[in-house]
Structure 1
Amino acid sequence: MSAGCRRSIRRRVLLVAELVALAVLASGTTAHADTILLAIAGSVDEVLTNIRNWLMGILAGLATVFFTIGAVRRVMAAGDPGEQEKAKEAFKAAGIGYALAALAPLVVSVLKGIVGA
């Protein structure tokens, strides 16, 4: 197949795709879905408590990932000073993550004080 023939086929395919998209957009029909509420917060205190729990979980999970990366780098370094330094940085990041996870309840209690919950 020649290059001109391929271009012609591509143009036709694009034209058909554009016409189909235009037909879908112009049809104007909309789907109506029932709204399903998965959770309703009873109070601001409950919302802030949920935020605290999620924040602690995410931070502790990320810190564990960094700790694991640091441990693997440390084991696989085989005496390479550059890899040893990267492992130390990963351990430092893990420590910061665990510290922030431990401070999450304090941050949420300050937010509760500001909001008045």
Structure 2
Amino acid sequence: MFPVSSRLRRAILRTALLTATATAVAVAIPAVASADDPSTVYLAAKDLPTVISNIQTWVLGILGAVVTLFLIYGGVLWATAGGDPGQVERAKGAFRNALVGFAVALLAPVFLQIVKGFVS
């Protein structure tokens, strides 16, 4: 770990305390109770393919974000390696993991279609 100054430690603790206090106040204040309006329309998925499509969209978005984070992490490791072979290997590993994640994200719809074919 790197040394943390007492000033930074106090700032972190102050931020954590303010965040915890704001969260506690937001949870503690009761919401106004009201009767449901009978004309209110609730949107819900009508069928299983719609639900699967929505889940697929969310998972692909999350996989894309993870791939991006691994690429950034690998780039930072590579840029700060300074000729250290161990850190260069860690950067290459991060890039390799990002490429595997990207391949999984691209092939996920294909796998899903294969599973749908088996199920239906």
TM (normalized to structure 2)?
Answer: 0.62
Paired residue total: 84
Instruction: Flag the 1:39–1:72 CA change in 2: closer, same or farther, 3 A.
Output: farther
| Counterpart residue number, 2:62 | 58
Identity %: 41
Alignment partner of 1:46 is 2:65: no
State the distance in 2 between where 1:54 and 1:48 align.
10
Alignment partner of 1:72 is 2:76: yes
Structure 2 segments unaligned to the other structure (5+ residues): 1-35
Counterpart secondary structure, 2:105: helix
Deviation at 1:72, TM superposition (A): 0.3
| Counterpart residue number, 1:96 | 100
Matched residue type, 2:104: L
Structure 1 segments unaligned to the other structure (5+ residues): 1-33
Instruction: Mark the structure with the bigger radius of gyration.
Output: 1
Query: Which consecutive segments of 4 or more residues in structure 1 shift more than 3 A?
Result: none
State the distance in 1 between where 2:73 and 2:109 align.
27
